[in-house]
Structure 1
Amino acid sequence: MKTRATFLRYAIKWLTLFLVLVIAPLGLAIIGHTEEYRGFWVEFGVALGFIGLAMMGLQFVLTARYSGIGAPFGLDELLQFHANAGYFAWGFIMGHFIILFLADSEFLKFLDPTVNLPRTLALSGAIIAITALIITTYWREKLNIFYEWWRASHGLLALFVVFVGTVHIMQVSFYVSEIWQQVLWVTMSVAAIGMLVHNRVWRPYQMKKRPWEIVSVTEEVDGTWSVELEPVGHDGMNFIAGQFIWITVGDSPFSLQQHPFTISSSAEQKNIQLTIKELGDFTAEVGELEIGTTAFLEGPYGNFTLESSTSQHNAFIIGGIGVTPAMSMLRTLRDRGDQREVTVIYGTPSKELTPFYDEFRELSAELNLNVVHVLEEPDDSWDGETGFIDEDIMKRHLYDKISSSEFFICGPAPMMDVVEGTLNDWGVPVYRLHSERFNIA
């Protein structure tokens, strides 16, 4: 079983490193600085700009999908941190401009087109770009922005902000007058740009050498499909049950159409299965995919796995399409003959809309597995749990095993909020509580 010390050590390590990298530009700026002090608010506003630009640069690191970055939290949680860090970066950069304008009206000349039109256009564009990043991310679904176009514009807008910010620092040069300071800032900006190029160009180039082919498309229940992929000309992909991949369907991996899905097949099988629910955009057409279609997979990613769990009992509390990582883990346990004790509490609208209902029965006979189905709208013959997963249901099936269990939670956000809150109230330590939310795109 994981220990609190291990979890805290990793958490402190990564958070400290992030903060050091964010604050480091301030330290570098004052080395050898001899210019006169301009007052607290001016210097504070400048400091906000340095911090905001550093955070924007680090955003490229957080989204570069390097397996060693952010362990052991998982890519989904890392991307959630990336989103929150983006809001702070926007706040720091906007604060930079607002505080300087209020502290000294002379700074308004930076946005005066009659003084320097190119500079005004660049800085105004950067303000608009970073604000557009926030608006299109937070309200993407409400604004009906297609994921593919959002993903493309997201990277380009961020790239524009970092480029303009770096040029702005070079031109002002108040705190980066030394050649080595300028070289360092340019190097950091180029590194950030390089990560974007690596992610959007080099990785697809590598993926092109390892194509996959769709060999079956099966409807599990109404609106939920399982797509099986077979490696073409290579040995496939080694993954840990519970992880996810990014898939690009078509003849080329150089496409905006790249989407994340959790693998639902066993880690012991060569072919990979993805189980996808129709929710819009790409998923609305998954049932129309043709056998023989080429696809490209990137990954695997994620730490939502049983691999490091040594607990006597593991509990999956899942809802809807959140079943996919659980199925991968259970199928892998079956193929390995692993008889560790597992309890699954699975919430769905009805028996007819429960993916893998019959397979759960088969797995229960083969594994040390107890499955508790919770149906929102069961028929009159149903004698199991009904409604939504709540504290009462959890208490009936899990409360007596709290001290010996690790908990894996995946499903709709309202369900996860209830489950996480209940486990926190029960005193379950954070290092024995694993969550994966399907909103990392």
Structure 2
Amino acid sequence: MARAGLYAVLAANVAVVTALFVAAGLSSNALVLVGRLTGLYGALLMAFQLLLVARLPWLDRRLGMDRLTSWHRWVGFSLLWMLLAHAVFITFGYAGLASLPPVDELVSLATTVQGVLRAIVALVLILLVGGVSARFARRRMAYETWHFIHLYTYIAVVLAFSHQIGVGTTFTASPAATAYWWGVWGFALGSVIAGRLVLPLWRNVRHRLRVISVVPESEDVVSIYITGRDLHRLPARAGQFFLWRFLTRDRWWQANPFSLSAAPDGRHLRLTAKALGEGSASLRELKPGTRVFAEGPYGAFTTLHQTRPNTLLVAGGVGITPVRALLEELRGHVVVIYRVSRPQDAVLLHELRGLARNRGAVLHVVTGPSNARTPDGPPLGPRAISRAVPDIRDRDVFVCGPPGMTSAVLQSVRELGVPKQQVHAERFSLAG
């Protein structure tokens, strides 16, 4: 329902933007007209992108991080191409009208027309963010660096908006057009301020989170226990994650996403992290009493989306943390498949075994190479999964792990005929 609603809202706004563009008049050459239209669509996509990253609770609980992240990526690259097209068509269009080379016309526009230089800077910033978001670059970059570079997007938004106000003919073509664009940008920016600033500040002032203990789980895995005031009023559920900011001298500026590794009990929260980067590796040095600033809870990987009485949980690596928390809340019969490369990589295995025993759940720990040959094919292939869970079509399937493993499991459950509405996935590339 939420997904269909977002599609409908975007389609309706595309229609409104097109109608306002036509109403403003078509009194220029074709290149300039196409440039203006792509610029308007780019502005609309930029506002829609702000809505996707606002982390509004209503939207996040229904769509979840995985789907929002996917949309954010596709909208981001679509926005990049729209703005590039806008710049190219406008430059070549006005160059044709002025009988100037395109480069000379671009310099002339930047130095003589209000707002054009700001738009160029905004485009450069968006190109930078788009470059570091490409898969080959993202894999080689620490989360903290990637997140910091993404903050430049907000500067680009302000510059682009000021450009639209300064030279956007459609923006000022009529009172209706002006009111529409102020409404679009006001709603988008207001959503970001509410979801990313006002709500987190209010929750942290209310709950005053702090570390109470740090427990090593293995050589490279640590659990952090956090308490605070009135935690029973914090709307957190098993399977969700927070962006955690530990307020020490060397970490206060870093926000790291970690899932809850235990169901919230109203008294404390627990996260379990593996040392994947410099930020997560330093968690072991945290001291009890350290203040914590948390944004969240985020994610739709919860029992709210359960549609069947029984469930299959599939986890890979440290993706077991939200799955272990879900195991506490799920009702009905549960089967857990935990995929790790080596037995010693199985985080929280003793807790999983205890929970499985107490709840009557079935736990399968699958180890070895992902391309290992078994009588049933790949370890997480359709035959192996159906052998472990013969009634899989009658279960909800929750999958959380590295992107490659998650994609492989999703392909397997599709081949096994599990209805789409029963499959819930979170690729553990951000929230882990």
Deviations 1:199-235 (A, max 9, x none): 4543443223422121121122231111111114765
Contact 2:56 2:191 in 1 (8 A): no
Root-mean-square deviation (Å): 3.0
| Aligned AA (1:42) | V
CA 1:419–1:373: 2 relative to 1, 3 Å = same
Contact 2:340 2:366 in 1 (8 A): yes
| 2:291 matches 1:294 | yes
TM-score (norm 2): 0.86
Q: Aligned to 1:68, what secondary structure does the other structure show?
A: helix
Q: Aligned to 1:38, what secondary structure does the other structure show?
A: coil
Structure 1 window deviating more from structure 2 (48-57 vs 358-367): it is: 358-367
1:174 is displaced (CA, Å) by 5.3
Residues 85-104 of structure 1 aligned to structure 2 (within 5 Å): 85-104=75-94
- Which residue number corresponds to residue 19 of structure 1? 11
Contact 2:64 2:301 in 1 (8 A): yes
- Which residue number corresponds to residue 247 of structure 2? 250
CA 1:238–1:125: 2 relative to 1, 3 Å = closer
Deviations 1:98-152 (A, max 9, x none): 23334452475354268517645223212211111201222554564x5445434
Contact 2:380 2:412 in 1 (8 A): no
1:28 is displaced (CA, Å) by 2.8
CA 1:375–1:172: 2 relative to 1, 3 Å = closer
1:406 is displaced (CA, Å) by 1.1
| Aligned AA (2:333) | E
Contact 1:237 1:270 in 2 (8 A): no
- Which residue number corresponds to residue 372 of structure 2? none
1:39 is displaced (CA, Å) by 4.8
Residues 11-410 of structure 1 aligned to structure 2 (within 5 Å): 11-31=3-23, 33=24, 35-69=25-59, 72-106=62-96, 108=102, 109-112=105-108, 116=112, 119-138=115-134, 140-141=137-138, 144=141, 146-173=142-169, 176-206=172-202, 207-232=204-229, 235=232, 237-250=234-247, 256-333=253-330, 338=331, 340-376=332-368, 388-398=379-389, 400-410=390-400
Equivalent residue pairs, number: 418
After TM superposition, where is structure 1 displaced by more than 6 Å over at least 4 residues in a row? 384-387
Which protein has the bigger helix share? 2
Contact 1:208 1:296 in 2 (8 A): no
1:395 is displaced (CA, Å) by 2.5
1:248 is displaced (CA, Å) by 1.3
Contact 2:232 2:266 in 1 (8 A): no
Consecutive unaligned residues of structure 2, counting only runs of 5 or more, are: 370-374
Q: Percent identity at matched positions?
A: 23
Contact 1:162 1:189 in 2 (8 A): no
CA–CA distance in 2 between the matches of 1:420 and 1:76? 13
Consecutive unaligned residues of structure 1, counting only runs of 5 or more, are: 1-8, 378-383
1:348 is displaced (CA, Å) by 1.1
1:51 is displaced (CA, Å) by 0.6
Contact 1:408 1:435 in 2 (8 A): yes
Q: Aligned to 2:50, what secondary structure does the other structure show?
A: helix
Contact 1:53 1:162 in 2 (8 A): no
| Aligned AA (2:362) | N
| Aligned AA (1:394) | I
Contact 2:312 2:396 in 1 (8 A): yes
| Aligned AA (2:406) | M
